[in-house]
Structure 1
Amino acid sequence: MEILSSRTLLISPDPEALTAFYRDRLRLAVAREYPGGTVFHAGTGLIEIPAHMAATAAGETGDVLWLQVRDIAATREALAAEQVPIVAEPETKPWGLIEMTVADPDGRRLIVVEIPADHPLRRDVRG
């Protein structure tokens, strides 16, 4: 599987406090903010705190890997052929990304993402 980019998602029962910690106390630079989340630079990696994926009231948290691929349909077929558990089939989310979820042997979620050509993340914003 060819990975174009990746990030670690930190799921929290209090995403605002966690965002403040990484932004204000660790002073990580913000790579991107969007309605419902913040992505931070972390060396050569990225850390995302997605408020729209807040932990349950029971306080369950977890690690989620976000893996960008070139072609989600081809990736889905390759992963299925390798008997990787597909938790959620590819679908276009309200925010415009095509996402599917798979699981590793420990049950950790991996969100596999294709960014469509017309999505704002793919636009060249240079003047």
Structure 2
Amino acid sequence: MEVLSSRVLLRPADYQRTLAFYRDTLGLAIAREYPGGTVFFAGQSFIEIAGHDRGSADAAPFPGALWLQVRDVYAVQQQLTAGGVAIAREARAEPWGLHEMRVTDPDGVDLIFVQIPADHPLRRDVRG
């Protein structure tokens, strides 16, 4: 499997407190913000603080997750299923425009496989 990029996804109990810690206390630069979340630059990777998805039935049982960008999440789902990996949540288009699928590792950590469509804001060149 080819992973294009990754990030650590944190789902804190108190979004505002955790946001202030990474933004104000640590002074990390913001890569992007969206309703309910903030993504920080962290060297060759990113740290995303997500205030959404805390109370839904398929929220991660662990306060963090690994976010893995792939070219085709549906193909990865087929590959993992063929290899005997249990899919925690099947690939689907999300309201925020990404296509996501979840697998849980043996320690309960969510692995979120993400496909970014060509028309998504994450794929736009914002340099003007």
TM-score normalised by the chain length of structure 1: 0.91
Deviation at 1:54, TM superposition (A): 3.3
Aligned residue for 1:74?
Answer: 75
Shift of 1:35: 0.7
Structure 2: runs of 5 or more not aligned: none
Q: How does 1:46-125 map to 2 (within 5 A)?
A: 46-54=46-54, 61-125=62-126
Per-residue deviation, 1:53: 2.7
Unaligned runs of at least 5 residues, structure 1: none
- Residues 55-79 of structure 1: per-residue CA shift (max 9 Å, x gap): 79xxx75220110000111111111
Q: Deviations over 1:21-75 (max 9, x none)?
A: 000000011111111100011111110001113379xxx7522011000011111
Secondary structure at the counterpart of residue 52 of structure 1: coil
Could you say what the CA RMSD is over the residues aligned between the two structures, in angstroms?
A: 1.5
Percent identity between the aligned chains?
Answer: 59
The CA distance in 2 between the partners of 1:93 and 1:11, in whole Å, is: 18
- Aligned partners of 1:84 and 1:103 also within 8 Å: no
TM-score (norm 2): 0.90
Deviation >3 Å, runs of 4+? none
Which residue is equivalent to 1:3? Answer: 3
* SS of equivalent to 1:53: coil
Is 2:62–2:109's contact at 8 Å kept on the other side of the alignment? no
